[in-house]
């Protein structure tokens, strides 16, 4: 899995001069989008098939601030996959490869009416694709 | 029409130490929400009736920066209303009443399928409510 | 401590039709700002005295989505205070009082050069003010 | 000048299912960052030399919505450059090359104390670099 790299945007900084902490949660989402494209089952396709996968929990621990002019590289790991949930872990690196943050997120699967679905039964191709990408929690 | 007042949030500032210019566009939207509640026809109701009113153009001129710890007061004026469009103007004041920005926005009316609608015919109550609030462009 | 209430903004929703999960992290920050005003030691004052208090960790668990047209009420609890760190917990309720999310955050104290400070020694008034507000973790 | 292309992010959409209009203002800023890198005088360098260049006015006209799963390509043109101001115009295209929006922005130059500066005198290299990139307003 290729890490996801993007620029730090000016509008993502705050008056402390660094990227506002809430934006890392957004970087995680961008990295999941990249992950899903790389495994060949992108999120727009999942949505088009009537499934959404909302975030049920998220956490982030901040190590070193990111600044405008820098890049953020997000390493993303699928660390959990069951019939009803999945989980990702993240490591965010700055442009020098220094660890900026770590985090994780949990997700469920819902149908168009907002009801939980058994994704293994509803969408076995998706389930199998994700299951093949499971990795241990990064250290 | 009562002006809309809200705090400046920390996450709205940027590394220049002031509110990022893009957020004023969001303050305008908050002020429109307040306007619609005050005239008795709120936007969630319009949406529930199958109409959306996207922004077709927006502009903002910046005078004095807003800072964290300050409030932003947005005076909002409905300056145009036709069967297919409406327009708002805005004056943003800081906590001392100093002019921070001015702006305006234009909007159309679409049905659920994204087709333009004649709002006077589709929703005369809304049309009449808005028409009764027309004001000249603020100076 | 009075809970902090605010509207859900249209621009905070995403294509799922609900408030994007990253925005809860911003609601937490707004609630901290309100907390500090209520205890009589607001964050702009702390900054003016040369101290910043960045977030070192944050987490959020999502229960029920918030929607445009709704309000978000954030109950905020100072659950930890040492010479070098503090911690908050949050409960977010929708307009009907239903639990929308829970979360917590951890913070350190830095001087203008970005060095950790012993806040009890550097700013005993602040330390004592916060220490007097300590509460057990909400259930 | 190479156009700036980036993904549309999920968190940039709103409940209408399209990119929220305020985010185009942010895309413009990203495109300016790219422009400055391409001309060899990036914004972090300008800031490091003690100059900031805030937005004094911005406008955007929306043509076709951008959606998650799509890309946004921003063509950026420096359309004005004087000793105290500059101006940019923008054309935003979706992934199929269809015009999504047009816009423009105006900027001044301030020193570290927030005073307007004559950039030709203060920073002739920057002034000359930018002046060499002037283009007519795009049609």
What are the chain B neighbours of C69 within 8 Å (beta carbons)? Answer: 42-44
Over residues C46-65, mean pLDDT: 97
Which two structure tokens, joined as six digits, stand for C124?
A: 């005993």
- Residues of chain B with pLDDT below 50 are none
User: CB–CB of A7 and D30 under 8 A?
Assistant: yes
Give the gyration radius of chain B's Cα atoms. Answer: 16
What gap in Å lies between CA C28 and CA B107, rounded to an integer?
32
Residue B21 and residue A10 in contact, taking contact as beta carbons nearer than 8 Å: no
- Mean residue pLDDT of chain C comes to 97
Query: Considering chain B, what percentage of its residues have pLDDT values greater than 70?
Result: 100
Distances (CA, A) of D4 to C91, D35, D41, D134: 41, 8, 16, 18
Take residue C95 and report the two structure tokens written for it: 């307009």
Q: What angle do CA A45, A47, A52 make, to 5 degrees?
A: 135
Among D10, D26, D69, the residue with its CB nearest the CB of A9 is D26
Residue-level pLDDT at B37: 97
pLDDT beyond 90 at C1: no
Beta bridge partners of residue C105, listed in sequence order: C58, C88
Identify whether A96 is part of a domain: yes
Is B112's Cβ below 8 Å from some Cβ in D? no
Note whether C33 contacts B: Cβ–Cβ < 8 A: yes
Nearest CA in chain A to C28: A22
Using pLDDT thresholds of 50, 70 and 90, give the confidence band for residue C67. Answer: very high
Give me the residue from D55, D56, D62 closest to B56, CB to CB. D62
The verdict on a CB contact (< 8 Å) between C9 and B33 is yes
Would you say residue B139 lies in a domain? no
The closest of C77, C60, C73 to C99, measured between CA atoms, is: C73
Assign residue C41 the CATH number of its domain: 3.10.129.10
Residue A138 located in a structural domain: no
Question: In the block, which residue shows the tokens 């220049």?
Answer: B16
Q: Do A10 and B13 touch (CB under 8 A)?
A: no
| Average pLDDT of the residues in C88-104 | 98
Kindly report, residue by residue over A118-139, the tens digit of the pLDDT: 999 999 999 999 999 999 988 8
Residue D139 is assigned to a structural domain of this protein: no
pLDDT number for residue A1: 83
ipTM > 0.90 for the complex = yes
Phi then psi for residue A68, to 5 deg, are -60, 135
pLDDT digits over A18-52, tens only? 999 999 999 999 999 999 999 999 999 999 999 99
Range of the domain at C117: 4-131
Nearest Cα to Cα of residue A111 among A61, A52, A57: A52
* Closest CA relative to residue D60, chosen from D18, D105, D19: D105
Q: Is residue D137 part of a domain?
A: no
Nearest to B16 among D18, D54, D61 (CB): D54
Chain A residue with minimum CA distance to B20: A11
**Tokens matching residue C54:** 């960045």
Query: Can you read off the two tokens belonging to residue D44?
Result: 């972090």
User: Does D18 fall in a domain?
Assistant: yes
Best interface-test mutation with B: which of A10, A12, A14 has the largest number of B CBs within 10 A? A14
**C111 inside domain:** yes
What's the total number of domains in chain B?
1
* Low pLDDT (below 50) residues in chain D: none
CA distance B13 to B31: 19
Within a domain: B120: yes
């Amino acid at each position: 899995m290729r890490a996801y790299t993007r620029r730090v945007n000016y509008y993502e900084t705050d008056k402390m001069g660094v990227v506002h902490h809430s934006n890392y949660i957004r970087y995680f989402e961008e990295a999941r989008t990249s992950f899903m494209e790389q495994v060949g089952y992108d999120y727009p396709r999942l949505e088009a098939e009537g499934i959404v996968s909302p975030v049920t929990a998220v956490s982030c621990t901040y190590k070193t601030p990111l600044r405008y002019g820098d890049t953020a590289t997000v390493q993303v790991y699928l660390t959990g996959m069951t019939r009803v949930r999945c989980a990702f872990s993240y490591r965010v690196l700055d442009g020098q490869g220094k660890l900026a943050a770590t985090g994780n997120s949990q997700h469920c699967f819902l149908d168009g009416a907002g009801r939980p679905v058994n994704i293994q039964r509803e969408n076995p191709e998706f389930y199998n694709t994700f299951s093949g990408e499971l990795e241990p929690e990064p250290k």
